[in-house]
Structure 1
Amino acid sequence: MQSTATVLVYSDNAGTREQVRLATGRRPAADVPAVEFIECATLPAVLKQLDKGGIDVCVLDGEAVPAGGMGVCRQIKDEIFRCPPVLVLMGRPQDAWLATWSRADAAVTLPVDPVEFADALAGLLRGGRAAA
């Protein structure tokens, strides 16, 4: 098992980024690596980080403004070679169809539920596909 995993967190809301960090802790599960975060508040920052490489999982806020995480997910799935798995944060459970449209590998609702989020993130870090 690698020693650390790099998780990109995109949200224009610092509080949402903090919820993700707090829900993850040092590691989302005992059988996955410790997590290091790269936080981005804008789409250009996300694209720059993905171009650099080394991202293991992306967490994208579907409620981000002006570029919502679901649209960003679809864009990076189309444009980034070997795009890392994506976990989308949805505003409502009814938005699950949008998460499917975006080609997200997993989706959870906001506000972040620590157990649900950690399970979904750990699944993606294990290389599995969690339910979207």
Structure 2
Amino acid sequence: MLALGRRPHPELPPIEYLEVATGPIVIERMDARELDLAILDGESAPTGGLGLAKQLKDEIADCPPIVVLTGRPDDVWLANWSRAEAAVSHPLDPIRLTDAVLGVLRNRSAA
């Protein structure tokens, strides 16, 4: 949240964050259409964000876009497998994260 900030682009409204701690709550919120974008930690346990992204994409029709945070740049193939729209690796670079999120949001609004 600190890397992205509340207003990553002047043309977008301020971002409101919802931080959750478990996979079931993410599924519940995404299924209820309460989120416009999910940023999932690919290294979280016990439910990793990469597997969770894949499950969401497989189970929710018109699933909101997902950005996954991976442990290393070489994990991009896992992000592709998960069907996430974007991936950013650790250590998090605020510019790369902002670019990924803005790209995903622009693609979503253009669709």
* TM-score (normalised: structure 2): 0.91
Q: Name stretches of at least 5 consecutive residues in structure 2 with no aligned partner.
A: none
Corresponding residue of 1:120: 100
Q: Name the structure with the higher strand share.
A: 1
Which secondary structure state, in structure 2, belongs to the residue aligned with residue 89 of structure 1? strand
Q: CA deviation at 1:127?
A: 2.3
Distance in 1 (alpha carbons) for counterparts of 2:41 and 2:29: 16
Q: CA deviation at 1:77?
A: 0.1
Distance in 2 (alpha carbons) for counterparts of 1:62 and 1:37: 18
Corresponding residue of 1:70: 50
Corresponding residue of 2:15: 35
CA contact (8 A) 1:32 1:126 kept: no
Q: Number of aligned pairs?
A: 108
Q: Which amino acid aligns with 1:79?
A: E
Corresponding residue of 1:52: 32
Which secondary structure state, in structure 1, belongs to the residue aligned with residue 18 of structure 2? strand
Corresponding residue of 1:15: none
Q: Deviations over 1:69-91 (max 9, x none)?
A: 11000000001121011101000
Q: CA deviation at 1:122?
A: 1.1
CA contact (8 A) 1:28 1:119 kept: no
Which secondary structure state, in structure 2, belongs to the residue aligned with residue 22 of structure 1? coil
Q: Where do 4+ consecutive residues of structure 1 move more than 3 Å? A: none
Distance in 1 (alpha carbons) for counterparts of 2:105 and 2:12: 7
The share of aligned pairs that are identical, in percent, is 51
- The two structures, once aligned, show a CA RMSD in angstroms of 1.1
Distance in 1 (alpha carbons) for counterparts of 2:38 and 2:5: 16
Q: Name stretches of at least 5 consecutive residues in structure 1 with no aligned partner.
A: 1-20
* TM-score (normalised: structure 1): 0.77
